[in-house]
Amino acid sequence: MLLSKIAKELGLSFDGEDIEITGIHTLSEAGSVQISFFDNARYKDQLSQTRAAAVLCEERYALLLPKETRVLITDEPYLKLALASKLFAYNISTKTSTPSLGKNCDIDKSVVFGRNVVIGDDVIILANCYIGDDVTIKAGTLLHANVSIYHHCEVGQNCILHSGAVIGSDGFGFAHTKDGRHVKIYQNGNVIIGDDVEIGANCAIDRAVFGTTYIREGVKMDNLIQIGHNCDIGAYSLFAGQAGIAGSTKVGRNAVFGGQSATSGHLNIGDFVQVAGKSGVTKSLEGGKTYAGFPAVEHKEWLKNQAKLSSLLKKFKS
C-alpha cells in the first residue's frame, strides 16, 4: 500500500516522496519498506537509529529521525498505529485445501485445515482440531483433541499439545481514544514453537503484534498457562498451572515459574531464575536466583520480611 494512501486512511497529511509500504514494525526492527511509530520515551534513543520508511510521531520528535525517514505527524501515534494495523491485517476466510502430508501421519477425519498447511512425518492430530492457513507442523508432533493453531504459526518436532490449547490467538492490544473508546490493534505477527515442547490443556499462546512470539526448545507448560504477545520464552523453561507472562517479556533459559505466578510486560527474566507460586514480578530479574512475593524479591529477603511481619503482629496482639 502506498504511504500516501495510508496517510489518507489515517487522516494525516503527507507531502514527501511516496513509497510502497508492506507492513508495520517496531523502531528497532522496521525495514526500509515498513512504517513504525513512537509513543514511549523509553525508546527515544531508537529514533535516530531506525531504518523505517516512515514513522508516526509527534512533531517535536520529528527532527530526531534520520533524514531519509518520512514523518507522519500526529498527536496520537499509538491510536494511528492501531488504525494502520487494520490495513495490514490478514484476511481470515473459511477456505480449505488439502495439506502437504509427510509419511505415516494419523489424522482424524474431523480435522479442518486452512490453505498451504505443511505437515511433517509421523504427525498425529486427533478429533476436532483446527489448523489455519500457512501453518507448519514438524515431524513427530502430537495434537490432542480440540487444539487450534491460527494462521502462519509453526510447531516444531516432537511436540505435544494438549486439548484446548490455542496457538496464535490475538494478543491483548488496544489503543484508547480521548473519549475512552478502545480501538483494536490487529495482531499481524505469528507464534513459533521449538522442538520438544509440551503445552498443557487450555493454554493460550498469543501471536505477536508484529514479529514473532517464541516458545523455545524444550519448554514445558502445565495447564491454563497464558503467554502474551511478543514474548520470548527461553529454552527448557518450566511453567506450573495458571502462570502468566505479560506481553513483550523475555524469559531466559531454564526459568521456573510456580503456580499462579505472573510477570508484568516488557521485562527481562534472567537464565535459571525460579519464581515461587503466586508471586508477582514487576521488574526485570537477575538470573540464577529464586524470587517470591508481590512485588517479587529474592526469596531470602521475602522470608525475612515475613518473619518481621509475623513478629510485629504478635506484638500488637500482646
Domain closes at, from 25, 53, 87:
87
Answer yes or no: is 64 within a domain.
yes
144 is catalytic: no
Single-letter amino acid, residue 55: V
Same domain, 123 and 261: yes
The answer for residues whose C-beta is within 8 angstroms of residue 13's C-beta and 6 or more apart is 7, 73
Domain closes at, from 27, 56, 87:
87
Answer yes or no: is 270 within a domain.
yes
For the chain, how many structural domains are there in total?
2
Whole-number Å distance between alpha carbons of 26 and 77:
13
Whole-number Å distance between alpha carbons of 50 and 34:
11
Q: Helices 77-87 and 3-10, interaxial angle, to 10°?
A: 120
What are 100-143's pLDDT values in tens digits? 999 999 999 999 999 999 999 999 999 999 999 999 999 999 99
238: Cα within 13 Å, side-chain hemisphere: 11
Same domain, 48 and 196: no
Whole-number Å distance between alpha carbons of 152 and 62:
35
Cα torsion angle, 144, 145, 147, 151, sign: positive
Answer yes or no: is 252 within a domain.
yes
Distances (CA, A) of 75 to 17, 57, 83, 276: 22, 7, 14, 42
β-sheet bridge partners, residue 160: 142, 198
Same domain, 227 and 290: yes
The answer for residues whose C-beta is within 8 angstroms of residue 254's C-beta and 6 or more apart is 234, 235, 236, 237, 271, 272
Answer yes or no: is 72 within a domain.
yes
Residue 136 has what pLDDT? 98
Residue 30 has what pLDDT? 95
Same domain, 177 and 279: yes
Answer yes or no: is 276 within a domain.
yes
Cα torsion angle, 71, 87, 155, 208, sign: positive
SS3 assignment, position 45: helix
β-sheet bridge partners, residue 149: 131, 167
Residue linked to cell 515498513:
34
Active-site annotation holder among 182, 229, 266, 299:
229
Same domain, 108 and 251: yes
Same domain, 50 and 126: no
Same domain, 170 and 227: yes
Check which CATH number belongs to the domain holding 18 and give it.
Answer: 3.40.1390.10
Same domain, 66 and 200: no
Same domain, 81 and 163: no
Residue 241 has what pLDDT? 97
Residue 318 has what pLDDT? 65
Same domain, 77 and 193: no
Answer yes or no: is 189 within a domain.
yes
Q: Per the structure block, which three cell numbers stand in for 281?
A: 514480578
Same domain, 135 and 243: yes
* Residue pair 168/188 in contact by the 8 Å Cβ criterion: no
Answer yes or no: is 94 within a domain.
no
Q: Domain span at residue 295?
A: 100-299
Same domain, 143 and 221: yes
The answer for residues whose C-beta is within 8 angstroms of residue 213's C-beta and 6 or more apart is 171, 189, 190, 191, 192, 205, 206, 207, 227, 228, 229, 230, 231, 232
Spans of the chain, pLDDT less than 50: none
Check which CATH number belongs to the domain holding 208 and give it.
Answer: 2.160.10.10
Answer yes or no: is 55 within a domain.
yes
Domain closes at, from 49, 64, 87:
87
Torsions phi, psi for 9 (to 5 deg): -60, -30
Whole-number Å distance between alpha carbons of 266 and 299:
22
